[in-house]
Amino acid sequence: MPECIQKIFLRNGQLLESTLFDESFLTEPHYIYEVFRVINGIPLFIEDHLERLKQTVALSGLPAELVPADFEQQVTNLIGANALQEGNIKVVVLLSDKDQEAAFLIYIMEHQYPSASEFENGVALALHYGVRENPNAKVMDVGLRSNTNQVKKKQLVYETLLVDKDHCITEGSRSNVFFVRGDELITPPLADVLPGVTRKHVMKLCGDLNIPLKEEKVHEDGLGQMDAVFITGTSRKVLPAFRIDEWLYPPDHPIVRQLQAAFNQEVENYLLSKKA
């Protein structure tokens, strides 16, 4: 499957045929990127993703001008050019070097959304020892991504949870993670994770629903004390887990289901606000 799908992509604001797309950057060890979802032709939570993209550029010590001022209009142009109703859009920032010029790419990528069965029955997760160097920045770590993909394939799991040198769980390779313990929700501290857009909305919903929430480190030895687990992400929304390695969890825990429904409603409300 090619990296860029559909007919048209954007390079430095210019609409181009996908036959001109150069995906050689995928072999670079690191690159800045962002991914967001399009539903009914509307880029979901686009303002949050733009904010995180700007934050990543700043944390990488790069000039803010790398992100074009008309970013949202460019996204609209891409959606229109491809008549896109459903899918994922990826943004990549490439810096100039001796082999390539600087480029700001926006294109439609392949997506894989959880099935109805996975949302209902949960997914299997596995632990993997490794972390991203700059967790608050959305920078692709090609080596780590390759390793986690191998773990998922070998162990037949949906996602891997990264574990740091202190044996504490930080985040998923492509997601954030939340744990239910008693009547409270726990998620690893922001300093240790990517500030996920779905994570941000779930945390806000906890306040709206009066669900106690703590940001604290979760040691792998404490997994047996958790009552439920779910992961969040652009493609995953709120997705329950039924297993982490040998630890089993009920996917239909009331707090998980409450947040799952609340987040789905949040998405619907956002889409309705953009149609108004």
Domain that holds residue 94: 5-109
Residue from 237, 196, 199, 197 nearest 114 by CA: 237
As beta bridge partners, residue 105 has 11, 92
81 in the same domain as 120: no
pLDDT at 98 over 70: no
pLDDT digits (tens, 9 = 90+) for 176-231: 999 999 999 999 999 999 999 999 999 999 999 999 999 999 999 999 999 999 99
Per-residue pLDDT of 149-178, as tens digits, reads 998 999 999 999 999 999 999 999 999 999
258 and 172 co-located in one domain = yes
State pLDDT tens for residues 251-267.
Answer: 999 999 999 999 999 99
Within this chain, do residues 72 and 175 fall inside the same structural domain, yes or no? no
Choosing from 72, 87, 109, the residue where a domain stops is 109
| Residue 265, token pair as written in the block | 């409603």
DSSP 125-182: EEEEE---SSTTS-EEEHHHHHHHHHHHHHHT-SEEEEE-TTSEEEEESSSEEEEEET
Q: Examine the domain organization and report whether 235 and 124 are in the same domain.
A: yes
Q: Based on the domain organization, do 164 and 97 belong to the same domain?
A: no
Are 121 and 24 in contact, with CB atoms under 8 Å apart? no
* One domain for residues 95 and 156: no
CATH code at position 194: 3.20.10.10
What is the domain-level CATH number for residue 56? 3.30.470.10
Three-state secondary structure call for residue 222: helix
For residues 120 and 94, state if they share a domain: no
**Based on the structure, what is the number of domains in the chain?**
2
pLDDT value of residue 202: 98
pLDDT at 141: 85
Same domain (yes/no): 69, 95 = yes
Please tell me the distance from the alpha carbon of residue 208 to that of residue 194, in angstroms, as a whole number.
23
Angle between the 254-275 and 197-208 helix axes, to the nearest 10 degrees?
A: 110
By C-alpha distance, which of 165, 161, 163, 164 is closest to 152?
161
Q: 10 Å Cβ neighbour count for 12?
A: 13
pLDDT of 99 over the 80 cut: no
Residue 97: is its pLDDT beyond 80?
no
pTM assigned to the model: 0.95
Average pLDDT, stretch 34-52?
98
List the one residue out of 188, 184, 144 whose CA is nearest residue 166: 188
Same domain, residue pair 227 and 139? yes
Residues 6+ apart with CB under 8 A from 193: 135, 136, 170, 171, 176, 187, 199
